[in-house]
A and B are shown apart, each in its own frame.
Chain A
């Protein structure tokens, strides 16, 4: 699992336990629990999974199996401004790959990584459903449409304080 061991604060553990309890500590509600915990915690590191496994009385291996199965769950923290480039087919045929490459080059990170200052993280996602605006890039909740590789610098600059 993740190589850096983190120590959870008591209130964080309590919050995770409260979420599990809200779902009656029911093993069948694991995915709903993970959604809630990820919303609260930002990501799902190994230590968090251990608490969940304990509360739902199931093996950590099974929790880990579910977390790693679904692309929505992440074991790495996202940047303050998570950048997602849509790689759905409609965006792909309108040049999304070039846009993604430009983000990688400009931020000097790979897909799935964050910048060292934790400001940006880069991911690709499958179809936002705004195919009329292809290619589409999301920064947090904000959607940018008809993005070309030349726009990348400008988009990143918007988030420079």
Chain B
């Protein structure tokens, strides 16, 4: 790498590629060739930088200059100004929203200051399609050491001491899981990587596979050696074409370099990895369901015990871990368990990746030490709420989690604190909501998801969630009663107690947590037939403020049912009995003369 004067890193994650980062790459190549600079400057497409809000991102190394929202037409200026003349292109630098000053260096951006990137250490830093770049950053070092030391139990011991817990949601201690799988006997044990990220609004596993696929491969081989397995399987969503493509390239390279296949690094240990495709079923994130799906069946969960460590894929001892969990393992082995367990809280060690999205200024992928507070994440890293609105809630844990509020902002986040607050860690989705979001409608949104994704095997989940959804629909339509609110609570608790798998046991969380934290909002829907956030269509009432109306007729012309009347330059009014509450007038009015009541 040393022979290049500059490296131009372009984000090649799904988000930035959707905004033409591929074109930017091509444009740079063309310009560099024209100017005969291709010997001095290297252009690399990396994995996700995390700062998706301002994508596409282009970073110039070694200066660490961070350009945001770059367009293909900006490439020439970057080359001529930055590369040739050594002056940064100010208009493309990130502007600090508070000081209004340009920030040259990503290290000084609020978004990155509080972050500690362990699982994401290589994302946005190396070219994921080149194994040499992974090798240059301690890649496969942990594997080499493990194979040299020939002590599988020592690996498991290190993981146990590190305190690493499963990052897929459950938070089960990883070392313990490996120990069970190691102790159980079988003809052919299996190592499975769960990359079936089904939680809507979570994209951390995909970003790791897109940005640093070798770390997952390395950890799986170590996993195989530690538990005595020679076969690994990656179960990945078919909806992630880029992650699949990069994983395949990485597998081929690892095989070619001798980190996979027979007699790995001359140790006599054999290990192979195969890819299995998911086909869009949220429940397949549950490990028994995932195993049934890999066997070619409907992905329905089964009762545990027997745990997969005893009888999993094809009835053999199987260890299932999530992508992010695997991404932590090579670092723990390289830096030692003492280092890892020094980060985080008493019972949750290390860092956690979150997909921060929703009504927050800096949407993106972040990684913070366990124990960081929601306030730090949302207001410092996330840069606060969009458009200066009021923070209302943050949803963690996806459809299995709950909504946390103002009062939870200073709680240090870890597995146990989130559970105690009525939510859960889940895979790490974090959706921020503002004053314009109706919590009853959000609960309904999640329930609709659960109803669709319930596999239908056990009745509390199949029927119970449907009933919860129907009650929420009734409330949003303005027909709810106080008895319905009691019913939501009772039924929710029954579903949690009586369901077979994690999906059903957690599916009422969005309802129960919003009832607990936003009781007044539910009451307003039921007693006053009002939706305070102005979201629920049937409870909305659009009105024209006479003082603000100038009689421009735009609303009347855009009303699809012609229910707005009024002469030109006269105050208009809405015929409420005809109004279908579509909101077209509200969106079109330039004078804020239409309000929602």
A-side residues, CB < 8 A to B, are: 27-32, 34-35, 65-66, 69-73, 87-90, 92-94, 98, 125-134, 136, 143, 145, 149
Residues of B within 8 A of A31 (CB): 276-277, 279, 293-294, 296
Chain B interface mostly helix, strand, loop or mixed?
Answer: mixed
Decide: A72 and B437 in contact? CB cutoff 8 A.
Answer: no
**Does B363 interact with chain A (Cβ within 8 Å)?**
yes
A99 to chain B, nearest CB (A): 13
Partner of A90, one of B201, B276, B442, B449: B201
Given known contacts A73-B279, A90-B363, A143-B18, is B52 in contact with A131 (CB within 8 Å)?
yes
When the two chains form their complex, are residues A89 and B431 in contact, meaning their CB atoms are under 8 A apart?
yes
Q: Mark B574-595, 1 if CB is under 8 A from A, else 0.
A: 0000000001000100000000
Q: Taking the complex as formed, is B502 at the interface, i.e. its CB lies under 8 A from any CB of chain A?
A: no
Most chain A CB atoms below 10 A, which of B199, B201, B239, B442: B201
Identify A131's interface contact among B54, B295, B298, B355, CB under 8 A: B355
Q: Are A89 and B429 in contact (CB under 8 A)?
A: yes
Given contacts A35-B238, A65-B298, A127-B203, contact A89 B358 (CB under 8 A): yes
B269 touches A (CB below 8 Å)? no
Which of the four size classes fits the interface of chain B? 35 or more
Q: How many A-B residue pairs have CB under 8 A?
A: 128
Give residues 408-443 of B contacting A (CB, 8 Å): 429, 431, 433, 437, 442
Using known A-B contacts A143-B18, A145-B19, determine if residue A88 contacts B277 with beta carbons closer than 8 Å. Answer: no
From A66, A89, A125, A145, contact of B395 by CB (8 A): A89
Q: Which residues of B contact A71 (CB under 8 A)?
A: 279-281
What's the nearest-Cβ distance from chain A to residue B395, in Å? 7
Chain B residues closer than 8 Å to A27, beta-carbon distance: 296
Which residue of B is nearest A92, CB measured?
A: B445
Task: Check if A129 sits within 8 Å of B293, measured CB to CB.
Answer: no
Which residues of the partner chain B approach A30 to less than 8 Å between Cβ atoms?
296-297
> Which of A87, A98, A127, A133 contacts B202 (CB under 8 A)?
A127
Q: Are B277 and A126 in contact (CB under 8 A)?
A: no
Q: Mark B328-370, 1 if CB is under 8 A from A, else 0.
A: 0000000000000000000000000001011100011000000
Q: Is the CB of A87 within 8 A of B296?
A: no
Residues of A within 8 A of B52 (CB): 130-133
Q: Give the complex CA separation of A134 and B442 in angstroms.
A: 17
Closest partner residue, chain A, to B284 (CB atom): A70
B15 in the interface, Cβ–Cβ < 8 Å? yes
Complex Cα distance A74/B583, Å? 34
Q: Taking A90-B201, A143-B18 as contacts, is the C-beta distance between A132 and B364 under 8 angstroms?
A: yes
15 A-B contacts, Cβ less than 8 Å apart?
Answer: A31-B296, A70-B278, A70-B281, A88-B200, A88-B201, A89-B201, A89-B429, A90-B201, A94-B359, A130-B18, A131-B201, A131-B203, A132-B363, A133-B18, A136-B18
